[in-house]
């Protein structure tokens, strides 16, 4: 999850900053991870006990799965923040509050924080000299490319694994 969050944050940062510098070049190869993720979602839908059209549609459409990943990232960040702060909370009370409809939008707070961090990073980046901006973009896209290749290879190994008769 941390790698997924890192990849998405760095991608959005590099995309925004590349567009600001008019240095963005679309490369179709960047679609491969999204295609691989869609294939993996399709495999998961197919492995379900009683898959229906909605399951396959969710797997085929990229946006719902991506939104679900962002919500999961929010929960991941929130849980690690609570763990790192050693704050004591009554999880049973929070569960009861959520079930009664009073859960609020606390799961969106980490996404808001990530958007704030992204906006701050872009604002700081805009103050840098153009030569340094170019170097940051080159290094950033290279690091993101390597991490994305590793993530795609991991997804490919998951996709190639045998089912072994298990159902989700």
Report residue 157 CA to chain centroid gap. Answer: 19
User: Which alpha helices (DSSP H) does 21-129 contain, by range?
Assistant: 32-47, 53-60, 62-85, 91-99, 109-126
Q: Which two tokens stand for residue 98?
A: 């959520």
pLDDT band at 104 (very low <50, low <70, confident <90, very high): low
Q: What is the pLDDT of residues 120-133, one digit of tens each?
A: 998 998 899 989 99
DSSP state of 48: S
Q: How far apart are CA 78 and CA 39, in angstroms?
A: 29
Kindly state whether residue 168 falls inside one of the protein's structural domains: no
CB 167 within 8 A of CB 49: yes
3-class secondary-structure state, position 168:
coil
pLDDT > 90? residue 91: no
Kindly state whether residue 167 falls inside one of the protein's structural domains: no
Q: Which domain holds residue 68?
A: 2-86+104-160
CB 125 within 8 A of CB 15: no
pLDDT > 90? residue 75: no
Q: What is the pLDDT of residues 31-70, one digit of tens each?
A: 999 999 999 999 888 888 888 999 899 989 888 888 888 8
- pLDDT value of position 103: 58
Number of folded domains that form the chain: 1
CB 147 within 8 A of CB 6: yes
Kindly state whether residue 54 falls inside one of the protein's structural domains: yes
- pLDDT value of position 96: 79
Q: Which two tokens stand for residue 66?
A: 């991506």
- Model-wide pTM > 0.85: no
Mean pLDDT of the chain: 85
pLDDT > 80? residue 106: no
């Amino acid at each position: 999850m941390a790698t997924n969050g890192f990849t998405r944050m760095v991608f959005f940062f590099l995309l925004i900053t590349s567009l600001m510098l008019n240095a963005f070049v679309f490369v179709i190869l960047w679609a491969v991870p999204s295609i691989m993720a869609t294939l993996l979602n399709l495999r998961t839908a197919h492995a379900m006990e009683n898959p229906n059209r909605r399951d396959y549609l969710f797997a085929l459409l990229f946006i719902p799965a991506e939104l679900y990943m962002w919500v999961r990232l929010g929960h991941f960040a929130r849980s690690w923040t609570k763990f790192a702060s050693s704050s004591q909370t009554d999880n049973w009370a929070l569960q009861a509050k959520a079930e009664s409809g009073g859960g609020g939008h606390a799961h969106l707070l980490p996404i808001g924080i990530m958007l704030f961090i992204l906006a701050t990073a872009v604002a700081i980046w805009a103050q840098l000299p153009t030569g340094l901006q170019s170097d940051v973009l080159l290094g950033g896209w290279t690091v993101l490319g390597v991490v994305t290749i590793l993530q795609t290879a991991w997804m490919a190994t998951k996709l190639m694994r045998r089912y072994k008769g298990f159902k989700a």
